[in-house]
Amino acid sequence: MFTGIIRTLAPVTRITRRGPSARVAVDLGELAAAAHPGDSICINGVCLTVAEEAGTVCEFDAVAETLSRSTLGTLKPGDKVNVEPSLRVGDQLGGHFVLGHVDGVGTVAAVTPAGKGIVMKVSVDAALAAQMVSKGSVAVDGVSLTVVEVGTNHFTCAIIPTTLKSTTLAARTLGDKVNIETDILGKLVARRLERASGPTDLTIEKLKEAGFA
């Protein structure tokens, strides 16, 4: 379990292909001191398990399913990734509950300056958009963000300067792919509504009918 509050930006040092899978090595810097084999760490929104550690570099195995459902398969040595260790009991929950299970890959459709921050528009499958609500939460490359507006196959989110400075989102440009994880609460609500009345878009009106708002 994670919160979507990124602790550090870390460089990928090596990618080793092993058939349909891959071994990803990341230099975690100071965070490596508290990382041990078997620990869960979120890398660009994907929950991975530390397989080996050597100094500040930790290695992670990414299976074929993970590579196909996320952007990890496109990483190259030198790329920076968002890193967040798993949430511990008693830790501050500054973002929202993030599982590290990517639901799909979105495409940056627009980046618009907004003061010192930006508004990012991301195109996604309609099924993912249906799990989002305005003012709800979404994880983009592991970063906890608030949804501003949701369309049939896109959403927008406002990104403040602090987030731009401490994550990879500052480097995202038109056409870039990003990992998307919708809010677990939205998924549960959508599932309840689907069971009650068949597949449906997640709207405030439907939430009120189901007793959630």
Q: What is the pLDDT of residues 31-44, one digit of tens each?
A: 999 999 999 999 99
Mark which of 54, 85, 116 sits at the end of a domain. 85
Note whether 18 and 81 are same-domain residues. Answer: yes
pLDDT per position as a tens digit, 131-146: 898 999 999 999 999 9
pLDDT of residue 89: 81
Q: Which is more confident, 202 or 82?
A: 82
CATH code for position 127 = 2.40.30.20
Per-residue pLDDT of 42-64, as tens digits, reads 999 999 999 999 999 999 999 99
77 and 134 within one domain = no
150 shares a domain with 53: no
Confirm if 140 and 71 have CB atoms less than 8 A apart.
Answer: no
* CA distance readout (Å), 181 to 28, 103, 117: 23, 5, 22
What's the predicted TM-score (pTM) here?
0.87
Contact assessment for residue 35 and residue 55, using Cβ atoms and an 8 Å cutoff:
no
The pLDDT of 154-177, averaged and rounded, is: 97
Q: Is residue 93 in some structural domain?
A: no
Confirm whether 40 is domain-assigned: yes
| 74 and 111 part of one domain | no
Mean pLDDT of 78-106: 92
Q: What's the number of domains the chain is made of?
A: 2
pLDDT of 4 strictly over 90: yes
Domain boundary residue, one of 52, 85, 118 = 85
Same domain, 46 and 18: yes
Give the count of beta carbons closer than 10 Å to the beta carbon of residue 17: 10
pLDDT for residue 91? 83
124 in a structural domain: yes
Q: Are residues 189 and 111 in the same domain?
A: yes
Q: Are residues 74 and 110 in the same domain?
A: no
Query: According to the model, what pLDDT value does residue 149 have?
Result: 96
Q: How far is CA 40 from CA 3, 73, 76, 165, in A?
A: 13, 19, 22, 24
The pLDDT assigned to 201 comes to: 56
pLDDT average, residue stretch 14-37: 96
The answer to whether residues 153 and 181 belong to one domain is yes
Same domain, yes or no, for 69 and 12? yes
Residue 212 has pLDDT above 80, yes or no: no
* Same domain flag for 29 and 78: yes
In the chain, what's the furthest Cα-to-Cα distance? 55
Question: Which residues constitute the domain of residue 180?
Answer: 104-209
Kindly report the number of other CB atoms within 10 A of residue 170's CB atom. Answer: 14
Across all residues in the chain, what is the average pLDDT?
91
Contact 66/72 with Cβ under 8 angstroms? yes
Structure confidence at residue 203 (pLDDT):
55
Q: Output the pLDDT for position 206.
A: 56
The answer to whether residue 136 is domain-embedded is: yes
List residues bridging with 53 in a β-sheet: 58
Q: Could you tell me if 108 and 48 lie in one domain? A: no
Are 59 and 138 part of one and the same domain? no
Work out the percent of the chain whose per-residue pLDDT is above 70: 91
